[in-house]
Amino acid sequence: MIAGHVFIATSLDGFIARTDGSIDWLEPVQNPEEDYGFAAFAAGMDGVVMGRATFETVLGFGEWPYEQPVIVLSRSLRDVAVPEGLEGRLSFRAATPEAVFAGLARRGWSRVWVDGGQVVQSFLREGLIEEITVSRIPVLLGEGIPLFGSLPADIRLEHLETRAFPSGLVQSRYRCVR
């Protein structure tokens, strides 16, 4: 069985980035001594599926942060060459969430890190997300790119655990109830 896992930070008002993609508001919680469970989460994933906006934000970091294969879902990038140095570590695809997961399951993936607002929303709508870890940053932005979006029906969640950190970040982990 293949399932999507989300590990993401939002403002208290639910934004993953400002309208222009900026994540400067994460700075107050950044701390070289505390990764908020990020490395352990990433180590448990077979690979990453993200959208174009997240991909472009990550490219802007300079250093490619992923150990695992990364699939970028994008209609506009699917015929574009992979950037130099990322051959074999990154591929572009244009397909439905189900088709993407079916292909990844055939490659033996079972735990997929699903990242970015639009892609998380589309995989949630299709019932392909198993767990969501949300880290709330203590700031209200007023506007930005939301983590969550419209759904065909309510999604019940099971709360698994919550941890509050000295920086004020509050991290909750939920399982989607089918």
Helix, strand, or coil here: 47?
Answer: strand
In this complex, which beta carbon is closest to a second copy, that of residue 95 or of residue 170?
Answer: 170
Instruction: Give the number of residues in contact with a second copy, rule: CB under 8 A.
Output: 35
156 is a contact residue toward a second copy (CB under 8 A): yes
By CB under 8 A, is residue 19 in contact with a second copy? Answer: no
In the list 61, 63, 79, 159, the residue contacting a second copy (rule: CB under 8 A) is 159
Question: Cα–Cα distances in Å, from 139 out to 4, 7, 99, 156?
Answer: 27, 19, 37, 26
Does 59 bind a second copy (CB under 8 A)? Our answer is no
Residue pair 119/54 in contact by the 8 Å Cβ criterion: yes
Distance between CA atoms of 76 and 147, rounded to whole angstroms?
22
Beta carbons of 104 and 47 less than 8 angstroms apart: yes
Q: Is 32 in the site for a second copy (CB under 8 A)?
A: no
Which x/- pattern, by CB under 8 A, does the window 97-136 give for a second copy?
A: ---------------------------x---------x-x
**Tokens, residue 122:** 């589309």
Query: Is residue 20 at the binding interface for a second copy, with CB under 8 A as the rule?
Result: no
Crossing angle of the two packed helices 117-125 and 52-59, in degrees rounded to 10: 150
Per CB under 8 A, the list member of 32, 46, 142, 178 interacting with a second copy is: 142
